[in-house]
A and B are shown apart, each in its own frame.
With several copies, the nearest count.
Chain A
């Protein structure tokens, strides 16, 4: 199968319906298993006791907030350079999902901060820059919805997203560049991760679940995006009337 066919809006719309449904159900099951693993099976931390378990939401959400952003910028870049229509839609639909993940990371981080740092919020570099990431997402969404011509809008917002990539390394390395309250890298280190394997495995698993969830939601949203753009086109009317 060639790329241009997969990149075709109609092809995507008509062939992913069941896939997204299946993925939706699948994440649901995976998620419950993960919660069980993280909350009951994994051992409690010798320092933080039970409160650390929110890590199983916080860390994957935080990772995804960065990952989705990069995905959004890259697809945006592809749509600008190679004028692939489907990429335009994928790129812009990433923004709200990424914003949710960022929000989850922020909220879970705050909840986690209370028992460990004694406060919900401190103005340190990582926390602030994660907040800025949220604003970046919001900026992308705001810019997109300010345009009436949505194709134009995607082009412009992709540009904003791409330029915004510079913030990603700043968020990631902020803990190293500034000595902050926030945990340094304990998983994403090149040498041995400084976390016990019995805690690490459910974390990685949750990361996987979040990824599947992301893909499921993305496909759903992209379908909606395709529908909104193509609802007046002939193939869409034909397809829907069937």
Chain B
């Protein structure tokens, strides 16, 4: 089993990113540790999504570096992928599988999940109040419930670093509260969250560092 780290620090050092011929962001330096949440805010198109993707390692930087515990996330020796859970704008849900099967499938890619997560999947769905849609095909549930399904992974995975891109979109107010609760719990348990949002939730979650990205 790969090592799951307990002390975490993500440090971003003068990171810049290009896409096409556009500078998306430039010279970002920042660092986040366990028990902290980094809330990225900023106008549309300022590069939040791109930034989060580069912390995942799926978006290559033009210059600068992103390190997890002083090891560059793109280096081979990085434990990076063993520790991050990324949930983006898109839900990563397969329309021709049911809600349950989708989560089961997604868990198969996540080594931190116990081997037989049946009960836990049910529990996580119950947490969000969508247990009754368990056997619905994803194409048959509502937009908000799709989002909730993909967020149910937060309850299943034991990974410490959450990278979330606007997790609150389409979610109803009740769901909002539950998700913020989850964030608080994760932070208290020593987790690390980096997320983007257009709603300022810095007051609802402990230990939030707000990072404002301007339009480049």
Contact = CB atoms under 8 A, between A and B. Distances in A.
A–B direct touch, CB within 8 Å, in complex? Answer: yes
Contacts of B140: 148-149
Contacts of A151: 20-21
Contacts of B21: 151, 232
A22 B1 CA distance: 65
Contacts of B137: 148
Interface in A126-158: 148-149, 151-152
A218 to B, nearest CB: 24
Nearest to B20: A149
Contacts of B20: 149, 151-152
A151 B21 CA distance: 9
A87 B140 CA distance: 25
Contacts of A148: 96, 137, 140
Nearest to B136: A148
B17 to A, nearest CB: 14
A46 B137 CA distance: 63
Nearest to A152: B20
B60 to A, nearest CB: 10
Interface string B87-98: 000000000100
A27 B140 CA distance: 44
Nearest to A148: B137
Interface in B1-35: 20-21
A68 B115 CA distance: 51
Interface string B131-147: 00000010010000000
Nearest to A151: B20
Interface string A165-185: 000000000000000000000
A151 B137 CA distance: 15
A39 B35 CA distance: 83
A79 to B, nearest CB: 15
A143 to B, nearest CB: 15
Interface in A218-238: 232
A149 B140 CA distance: 9
Nearest to A146: B96
A148 B140 CA distance: 10
Contacts of A152: 20
B53 to A, nearest CB: 16
A172 to B, nearest CB: 37
A152 B137 CA distance: 14
Interface in A166-210: none
Nearest to B19: A149
Contacts of B96: 148
A151 B20 CA distance: 7
A121 B137 CA distance: 45
A217 to B, nearest CB: 27
Nearest to A149: B20
Nearest to B18: A151
B154 to A, nearest CB: 28
A149 B137 CA distance: 10
Contacts of A232: 21
A149 B139 CA distance: 11
Interface string A97-138: 000000000000000000000000000000000000000000
B82 to A, nearest CB: 28
B202 to A, nearest CB: 36
Nearest to A233: B21
B80 to A, nearest CB: 22
A68 B19 CA distance: 30
Contacts of A149: 20, 140
B59 to A, nearest CB: 13
Interface of B: 20-21, 96, 137, 140
What 9 pairs between A and B have smallest CB-CB spacing? A149-B20, A148-B137, A151-B20, A149-B140, A232-B21, A148-B140, A151-B21, A152-B20, A148-B96
Interface of A: 148-149, 151-152, 232
9 contacts: A148-B96, A148-B137, A148-B140, A149-B20, A149-B140, A151-B20, A151-B21, A152-B20, A232-B21
Given A148-B96, A151-B21, A152-B20, 6 more contacts: A148-B137, A148-B140, A149-B20, A149-B140, A151-B20, A232-B21
